[in-house]
């Protein structure tokens, strides 16, 4: 993980706001409001409140441009994903990775090529583990 703050639990609206920031690098409340209108119609004041809370937790930062706050994510997407995955693996699946993967495979539809990519990732991890074992 990078040097950003430890990824905390995020609510769905907080995560959606962060996704906009990860995608755009920076955005104002108005820009985030527009980006979320179709999927999650939140009031601009609600978005501002959520951003303020995220800022207090050190997950976003802002700069002032004119009379607007321009927000950027401090929490990196990879860190958020890593934390959520570890939390799910250790919590819900009690560290049982094969059961978690089995659940994922049995409960999702996959696009063409997804399983080929997964196999390649597994093969690469196996090679990495073999190299470590030899060292």
Give the tens place of pLDDT for each residue, 56-95.
999 999 999 999 999 999 999 999 999 888 888 999 999 9
CATH number of the domain at 1-95, please? 1.10.10.10
pLDDT surpasses 90 at 132: no
- Rounded CA gap, 63 and 77, in Å? 20
Q: Give the pLDDT band (50/70/90) at residue 6.
A: low
pLDDT surpasses 60 at 4: no
* Residue 112: per-residue pLDDT: 87
Label residues 104-113 b or e (16+ Cβ within 10 Å = b). Answer: eeeeeeeeee
Q: Which residues pair with 95 in a beta bridge?
A: none
20-70 per-position pLDDT tens digit:
999 999 999 999 999 999 888 899 999 999 999 999 999 999 999 999 999
């Amino acid at each position: 993980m990078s040097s950003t703050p430890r990824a905390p639990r995020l609510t769905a609206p907080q995560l959606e706001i962060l996704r906009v920031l990860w995608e755009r690098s920076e955005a104002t409340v108005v820009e985030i409001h527009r980006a979320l209108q179709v999927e999650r119609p939140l009031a601009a004041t609600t978005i501002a409140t959520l951003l303020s809370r995220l800022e207090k937790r050190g997950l976003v930062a802002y700069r002032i441009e004119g009379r607007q706050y321009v927000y950027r994510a401090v929490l990196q997407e990879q860190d958020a994903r890593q934390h959520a995955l570890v939390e799910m693996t250790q919590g819900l699946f009690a560290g049982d990775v094969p059961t978690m993967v089995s659940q994922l495979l049995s409960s999702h539809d996959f696009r063409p090529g997804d399983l080929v990519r997964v196999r390649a990732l597994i093969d690469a991890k196996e090679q990495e583990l073999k190299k470590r074992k030899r060292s």
